[in-house]
Chain A
Amino acid sequence: MWRLETAIVSVVFAAVLCGAAWGVTAAAWSWVPDPVLRYAWWVPGLYGAYAVAEIAVAPSWRYRVHRWEVTADVIYTRTGWLSRRWQLVPVSRIQTVDHKQGWLERLFRVATLKVQTASHAGSSTIEGLDAADAQRISEELAARAAELRDDAT
Chain B
Amino acid sequence: MSGATSAPGPGADEPRPHDEPDVHSPPAAPNAPTPDTPAPEVSGAYVPTPDAPAHDIPVPTAHGAPAPDVPPVPGGPGVPDSGVPAPAAAGIAPEAERALSPLTLVTAPIAYLRNAIVPLVVAVVAGSFNPWVLGSAAVAIAAMLVGGFVTWRTFRYQVGSERLEIRRGLISRSRRSIPLERIRGVDVTSHLLHRLLGLAVVRIDAAGGGGESEEGKLDAVTAAEAERLRRELLHRRAVLRGETAAGAPAAEAGTAPGAEPAPEADADEDVYFTMPRGWYLYAVLSLGYLLTPFVALATVLGFLGQVADDLASSADADAAAQRAYAWFDGTGEQALLAIAIGAAVVLVALMPVSAVVSYAIAHWGFTLRRRGDALVTERGLFTRRSVTLELRRVRGHELLDNPLERLRRAVRLRAVVTGLGDTATRATLLPIGPRDRVGEVVERALIPYRGPLTRHPGAALRRRLFRAVAPFAAAAAVAAFLAPPWVAVALAAVAALGVPLGVDRYRALGHGDDGRQVSVRSGSLRRAQAVVRRDAIIGWTWRQTLFQRRPGLAHLELAVGAGGGAYTAIDAGFDDAVTFAAGVSPELVRPFLVEGPDERPAP
Contact = CB atoms under 8 A, between A and B. Distances in A.
Interface string A67-102: 101010110101000111111111001010000000
A67 B601 CA distance: 13
Contacts of A83: 543-546
A153 B544 contact: no
Contacts of A121: 539, 541, 557, 559-560, 565-566
B543 A119 contact: no
A36 B29 CA distance: 81
A84 B549 CA distance: 9
Contact of A119 (B539, B544, B588, B592): B539
A153 B419 contact: yes
A76 B542 CA distance: 11
Nearest to A94: B538
Interface string B531-564: 0000010111111111001000000010111100
A70 to B, nearest CB: 12
A87 B538 contact: no
B566 A84 contact: no
B125 interface: no
A38 interface: no
13 contacts: A74-B591, A84-B542, A84-B549, A86-B542, A87-B540, A87-B541, A90-B538, A90-B539, A93-B561, A118-B418, A120-B566, A121-B541, A122-B560
Contacts of B588: 73-74, 88, 90
Contacts of A67: 598
Contacts of B562: 118-119, 153
Nearest to B568: A121
A95 B543 contact: no
A67 B592 CA distance: 12
Interface in B554-602: 557, 559-562, 565-566, 581, 585, 587-589, 591-592, 598-599, 601-602
A73 B546 CA distance: 31
A117 interface: yes
Nearest to A116: B211
A119 B601 contact: no
B211 A95 contact: yes
Question: SS class of chain B's interface: helix, strand, loop or mixed?
Answer: mixed
Contact of B539 (A82, A84, A122): A122
A118 B211 contact: yes
A67 B562 CA distance: 28
B530 to A, nearest CB: 13
Interface string A98-126: 00000000000000000001111110100
Contacts of A71: 591
A134 to B, nearest CB: 20
A28 interface: no
Given A85-B541, A121-B559, 17 more contacts: A67-B598, A83-B545, A84-B544, A84-B549, A87-B542, A90-B538, A90-B588, A118-B561, A118-B562, A119-B559, A119-B560, A119-B561, A120-B566, A121-B557, A122-B539, A152-B561, A153-B536
8 pairs of A and B residues whose beta carbons are closest in the complex: A118-B561, A122-B559, A121-B566, A122-B539, A153-B561, A93-B538, A121-B559, A83-B545
Contacts of B546: 82-83
A119 B540 CA distance: 11
A74 B588 CA distance: 6
A71 to B, nearest CB: 6
A67 B546 CA distance: 18
B570 to A, nearest CB: 14
Contacts of A69: 592
A89 B542 contact: no
A120 B565 contact: yes
B561 A85 contact: no
B601 A84 contact: yes
A71 B588 CA distance: 10
Contact of A117 (B395, B561, B581, B591): B561
Interface string B360-373: 00000000000000
A122 B558 CA distance: 8
Nearest to B418: A153
Given A73-B588, A93-B561, A118-B418, A88 B544 contact: no
Nearest to B578: A86
